Amino acid sequence: MIHEISDLTLRRFPKYIYILRSMQRKGQEYTSASELSRFLDIHHTQIRKDLALTGVRGIPKRGHRVDSLLRACIEFLDWDNLTDACLVGVGNMGSALLNYEGFAQSGLQIVAAFDSDPEKIDKRINNIKVYPIEKLKDVIGILEVKIAILTTPAKNSQKLTNEMVAAGIQGIWNFTPKKLVVPENVVVENMDIYPALAALLGKVRNVNTINPNGPVEFDQE
């Protein structure tokens, strides 16, 4: 039987991998869906169902071997095979992501970056070359990159998206708050970190404010 893997299933597996890696580092030999459930916000029956998708079978009364379950989860997401990506916009966020060493163990490899700043062009960041933004289409075409990480300022980001899609990009990891318009066959994952930061800071300030009514006052007529 062949199944399509749902979006929500794909999103849960990195969580299993994270917990299993930690158990492996600690030298833990066995685990179970119930134990994994205690560390995550996922019900154990859901975890059991997900783990069954990997084909790995538990051992009665002992559960799953941590190492073989971890291996099966990584294979399930195909994270051993790196997918090439490019990064567009080498500002603060872009530089941080270029220097981030955690993608390799999650199936992603950034092979090219783009910027419009002459100071940055032809430099290498973490050994990744920064190309001029004018070469976006050519480089994406030559390298046959299918994934783009978007970390540009708002200006031109739709225009750049159109160019990327025309060049063959099929998936965009959008770190900007901008709404991107793409054809139906192109996948966009939005990943804007600032709303969470604003909510966190706003709420903590609210708790601490001297004014018992909240941190921000304003007049409304």
By CB under 8 A, the residues from 114 to 143 that bind its own copies are none
Tell me the C-alpha distance between 181 and 161, whole Å: 8
Interface region with its own copies, contact rule CB under 8 A, candidates 60-68, 102-110, 113-121, 133-141: 102-110
Q: How far is the CB of 218 from its own copies (least distance, A)?
A: 5
Which of 109, 116, 146, 162 touches its own copies by CB under 8 A?
146
Which of 33, 37, 67 has the alpha carbon at shortest distance from 51?
A: 33
Length of the chain: 221
Count CB neighbours of 181 within 10 A.
Answer: 11
Pick between residue 15 and residue 135 the one whose CB is nearest to its own copies: 15
**Binding flags for its own copies, 66-95, as an x/- string (CB under 8 A):** ----------xxx----x-------xxx-x
Q: Which two tokens stand for residue 154?
A: 């708002």
Q: How far is the CB of 199 from its own copies (least distance, A)?
A: 5
Pick out residues in 19-48 that bind its own copies (CB under 8 A). 19, 21-23, 25-26, 39-41
The distance in angstroms from the start CA to the end CA of the chain is 64
Interface region with its own copies, contact rule CB under 8 A, candidates 60-68, 106-114, 115-123, 128-136: 106-114
DSSP 3-state helix, strand, coil percentages of the chain (rounded to 5)?
45, 20, 40
Output the CA torsion 86→91→96→102 (10° steps).
Answer: -10
Residue 107 buriedness (CB in 10 A; 0-12 / 13-18 / 19+): middle
**Binding flags for its own copies, 173-212, as an x/- string (CB under 8 A):** x--xxxx-----x-x-xxxxxxxxxxxxxxxxxxxx--x-
Which of 2, 118, 127, 210 touches its own copies by CB under 8 A?
2
Which of 15, 48, 135, 137 touches its own copies by CB under 8 A?
15
Which of 31, 32, 54, 161 touches its own copies by CB under 8 A?
54
DSSP code, position 68: H
